[in-house]
Structure 1
Amino acid sequence: MTGAQADRNRRPGARRILDDLRQARVLVLHPQDEDGAILTEHLKRLGCAVTALWPLPAVLPPETDTIFVQVDDLPGEALSALLQDRTPAIIAIMTYETPTALQAITDLNAHGVISKPLRPFGILAQFVLARYRRGYEGRLAGKIQKLEETMKSRRLVDRAVKLMAELRGISDDEAYRLLRDQATAQRTSLTSIAEGLLAAEATLRGIGLTTTGK
């Protein structure tokens, strides 16, 4: 494969990256000086929707998904409080590697860093990297949440199986098959059947009755 052919094969992916950037809703938190103007104008040339604010606003503009923020002498907790439960991609801008700036980068879990004085070269790379890292974090968090939900469901089913086995005087395998068949008959999930059984048992115990004869 020639270099030209390889480049053509990469183009669809490159276009997707640029299309993603053009759909970004960017907030620039930087003093309105020469560096701020360079950054804002460069982002606009990329086709982004850009809002520039300074000092920090009381609330974030709606739909903001990427933030470029100057962290020099800016306590990280100030922006963290502003973010609340929002999770945008964050690119920190710093002049010097001061303890305050480094702490702010850590507190914000910045996805990228740009040093001053700002130049157009390098902004695009950090922009792409930050959005990729934020997307990866989001996908990873989704997988973790799904795994936690699966483990929670498994624990519920295990408890229900033990209860059914005790009620019927049967083995765990037989109890599991009974619950599974019930879920199939009702066209619902095994977890829902388990939750219903455990809830019923808890209700009976709450009024002084038992399901096991103990």
Structure 2
Amino acid sequence: MTGHVTRSNFRGARALIQLRDEAGSAVLVRTLERLGLQITTDPAEAEIVFFDADEDVAAPARDIPLVALIGSEAPSRLGRVVRQRASAWLMKPLRATGIFTAVFVAFNEHAARQREAQEREALRRRAEGRRVVVKAILQLMAKQGLSDDEAYRELRAASMRRRISVEEFAAELVAASTSSMRLGGQPPQARNNNQT
């Protein structure tokens, strides 16, 4: 998958700074405000968080871009950066140089991760849908003596009459799982509890 830039203007974005170092915080606030970001103290409204990797800070409850502020390259501190899933980082002591880069990378890396997660979920749903379609085809083949192509054509035609996807109709067919089900324009009937 090729990545692409989704955001290069951060004007109006709200940034939360979790840093005890007053001098570093002042540099960060000044630079972020020059870039058009607004500083907030409310985690619920933050759109990006700068956190001190040298402090044991809890990750935000929401999935938003994180920038780690790293003072020590000790493995335990870097492990905290990895566990928090930081999208970018800055080395301390903080200077104005590099802050725009960190913001740019954090927003765009986070957006790329979200796109990839959505694509994985779509693939998972598609794979699950295919599995149900295969089950429905096998069911039709067994009950109506159809070939696999004929069963799929019947399934497709029935789903079109109902104006739902093949996967949705297949799921209904498999769920109902009765020999009396018809592929007409009506939804599958519920299983007869007395049927053996």
Q: Tell me if the contact between 2:14 and 2:38 (Cα under 8 Å) persists in the aligned partners.
A: yes
1:68 aligned onto 2:50 = yes
1:158 shift after superposition: 0.7
Equivalence for 1:57? none
1:38 aligned onto 2:23 = no
1:30 shift after superposition: 0.8
Equivalence for 1:182? 158
1:62 shift after superposition: 2.4
Q: Tell me if the contact between 2:15 and 2:49 (Cα under 8 Å) persists in the aligned partners.
A: yes
1:32 shift after superposition: 5.4
More displaced, 98-107 or 148-157?
A: 98-107
Equivalent in 111, 114, 118 of residue 142 of structure 1: 118
**C-alpha distance in structure 2 between counterparts of 1:148 and 1:121, whole Å:** 42
Equivalence for 1:17? 8
1:33 shift after superposition: 0.8
Partner AA of 1:156 in structure 2:
V
Partner AA of 1:143 in structure 2:
E
Instruction: In structure 2, list runs of 5 or more residues that go unmatched.
Output: 179-189
TM-score (structure 1 length as normaliser): 0.78
Q: Tell me if the contact between 1:38 and 1:118 (Cα under 8 Å) persists in the aligned partners.
A: yes
Answer 1 or 2: which has greater helix percent.
1
**C-alpha distance in structure 2 between counterparts of 1:129 and 1:197, whole Å:** 47
Partner AA of 2:153 in structure 1:
R
TM-score (structure 2 length as normaliser): 0.84
**C-alpha distance in structure 1 between counterparts of 2:38 and 2:139, whole Å:** 57
More displaced, 42-51 or 173-182?
A: 42-51
**C-alpha distance in structure 2 between counterparts of 1:87 and 1:165, whole Å:** 46
**C-alpha distance in structure 2 between counterparts of 1:91 and 1:102, whole Å:** 13
Equivalent in 163, 167, 176 of residue 191 of structure 1: 167
Q: How does 1:28-107 map to 2 (within 5 A)?
A: 28-31=17-20, 33-52=22-41, 61-74=43-56, 78-80=57-59, 83-84=60-61, 86-107=62-83
Equivalence for 2:182? none
1:27 partner SS: strand
Write the deviation string for residues 15-47 of structure 1: whole angstroms up to 9, x where unpaired: x612xx114221111115111111012111111
Write the deviation string for residues 94-122 of structure 1: whole angstroms up to 9, x where unpaired: 11112331111111121111111111011
Equivalent in 140, 162, 166 of residue 142 of structure 2: 166
Equivalence for 1:5? none
Instruction: In structure 1, list runs of 5 or more residues that go unmatched.
Output: 1-13, 53-59
Partner AA of 1:135 in structure 2:
A
Partner AA of 1:68 in structure 2:
F
Alpha-carbon RMSD: 2.0
Percent of paired sites with the same residue:
29
Write the deviation string for residues 135-171 of structure 1: whole angstroms up to 9, x where unpaired: 1111111111111111111111111111111110111
1:108 aligned onto 2:94 = no
